Amino acid sequence: MRFMGEVIRGADASSSSTASPSPASLPSNIPLLSAFLAFALAQFLKLFTTWYKEKRWDSRRMIDSGGMPSSHSATVTALAVAIGLQEGTGGSTFAISVVLACVVMYDASGVRLHAGRQAELLNQIVCEFPPEHPLSNARPLHDSLGHTPFQVVAGAVLGCTVAFLMKNSN
Whether the CB-CB separation of 126 and 76 falls below 8 Å is answered with no
pLDDT (0 to 100) of residue 65: 66
Q: Is 22 left (phi over 0), alpha (psi -120 to 50) or beta?
A: beta
Least confident span in 11-20, 41-50, 104-113, 145-154: 11-20
**What's the count of helices (H) and strands (E) in the chain, helices before strands?**
6, 0
For 129, left (φ over 0), alpha (ψ -120 to 50), or beta? beta
C-alpha Rg value of the chain to the nearest Å: 23
Query: Domain residues of the chain, as ranges?
Result: 30-169
Angle at 108 between CA 103 and CA 110, to 5 degrees: 90
Q: Region 128-138: what's the mean pLDDT?
A: 75
pLDDT: which is higher, 100 or 145: 100
- Determine the residue type at 151: Q
pLDDT in tens, 82-118: 999 999 999 999 999 999 999 998 888 777 666 767 7
Residue-wise pLDDT tens digits, 30-53: 999 999 999 999 998 988 777 667
Under 8 Å between Cβ of 72 and 147: yes
Residue % of the chain over a pLDDT of 70: 69
Higher pLDDT, 73 or 3: 73
- C-alpha 163: how far from its chain's center? 14
Non-local (6+) Cβ contacts of 37 within 8 A are 78, 162, 166
| Rounded mean pLDDT, 55-62 | 65
Categorize the per-residue pLDDT at 23 as very low, low, confident or very high, splitting at 50, 70 and 90: low
Please say whether the beta carbons of 65 and 39 come within 8 A: no
Identify the weakest region by mean pLDDT among 14-23, 25-34, 78-87.
14-23
